[in-house]
Chain A
Amino acid sequence: MPRGMVVIDKERCKGCGLCIAACPQKVLAYSGQLNHSGYNVVHTEHPEACVGCTFCALTCPDIAIEVYREKVAA
């Protein structure tokens, strides 16, 4: 499995939690921190488990998530 990484734009996140439910690796969780709009934003609770599947980003209604994946040696 390649390693992945998600980058969440805290100011775009509305804390709906759809990404938390979509993540098969249980990487994401509520951070308990509020952004400027007052939403409890999502953060990467277990970043080491991320495989870069992009399910969270596909599900995010606010396009707040960017996904990176480790380069695989050719």
Chain B
Amino acid sequence: MPTDLDSMVKVFSRPKSLTEARSTYCPGCQHGILTRIIGQTIDELNIAERTLIIAPVGCSVFAYLWYRCDAVQVAHGRASAVATGIKRADPNLVVLSYQGDGDFASIGTAESIHAANRGENITVIFVNNQVYGMTGGEMAPTTLIGQKTTTTPSGRDAAMFGYPIRFSEMIAQLDAPVYVTRQALYDTKRIMDATKAIKKAFTNQVEGKGYSLVEVLATCPTNWHMKPVDASRHVVDVVTKVYPLGDLVDRG
């Protein structure tokens, strides 16, 4: 193996639009992969100077620490509404609303749907890990039937708690959204697909096309009580059966 770095070319390094701060996520949490993908996309589109990231409430609440971009940390669920206001006030900004499932699909349902229905020219990344991560693993609207959480200790029962909500499919019924897709991060191919989808969602906004939503199936090894590799396998075997991957709307 050549040890002389002069004979080697660097083919992968930390995106320039990310700070040196270490993430606060648990080991194996795929939020970290998304952070890297977003940083890489901002680098590739060269939009760091005019990107504004909306940090939600949830595990990603510290998102403003990790990007060399402007950021706002907003009230729980209201990221899409704040994104609307910021984008309308300064249309030159590239606004990313980064939200988890408890934020986007539960407490923020009204804001999320109406921002999509108005076709706001924003990019939304919706991280679906089927659980409220930060507060200790409670049931989310996206929790699978039979899945054990701290508030459904014997598994989610449809008669009591309803069914897992396919939020992206709901958004896809609307006329306004330009791009709605569901991606995952369980292997390198999926990570590359998700990278393409996120780049497209940003490009749509830069080109003024309108609302783009990228739902990303992520793991929560801590609250799923699985090893990170087993959690990725669980996404393949179980989660994608309930939340199928692929583009739902592409009017770009």
Chain A residues within CB distance 8 Å of chain B: 3-5, 11-12, 14-18, 20-22, 39, 47-48, 50, 52, 54-55, 57-63, 65-71
Contacts and interface: CB of A to CB of B under 8 A. Distances in A.
Contact of B188 (A4, A59, A61, A66): A59
A3 B2 contact: yes
Interface residues of B, dominant DSSP: mixed
A15 B27 contact: yes
B187 interface: yes
A54 B13 CA distance: 10
Nearest to A11: B22
B133 interface: no
Given A61-B25, A68-B11, A21 B32 contact: no
B228 interface: yes
Contact of A67 (B7, B12, B26): B12
Given A11-B22, A16-B28, 9 more contacts: A17-B228, A17-B229, A18-B228, A18-B229, A58-B33, A61-B27, A62-B22, A63-B15, A67-B12
A16 B8 contact: no
A67 B22 CA distance: 19
Nearest to B37: A58
B1 interface: yes
A68 B232 contact: no
B143 interface: no
B170 interface: no
Interface residues of B, number: 35
Contact of A71 (B8, B191, B229, B232): B8
A14 B13 contact: no
Contacts of A48: 1
A67 B227 contact: no
Interface string B7-39: 111111111001000110111111111011000
Given A17-B227, A68-B5, A63 B10 contact: no
7 contacts: A17-B229, A50-B1, A59-B188, A60-B33, A62-B25, A67-B11, A71-B7
A17 B14 CA distance: 19
B36 A63 contact: yes
Nearest to B3: A5
Contact of A66 (B10, B187, B232): B10
Contacts of B7: 70-71
Contacts of A55: 188
B192 interface: yes
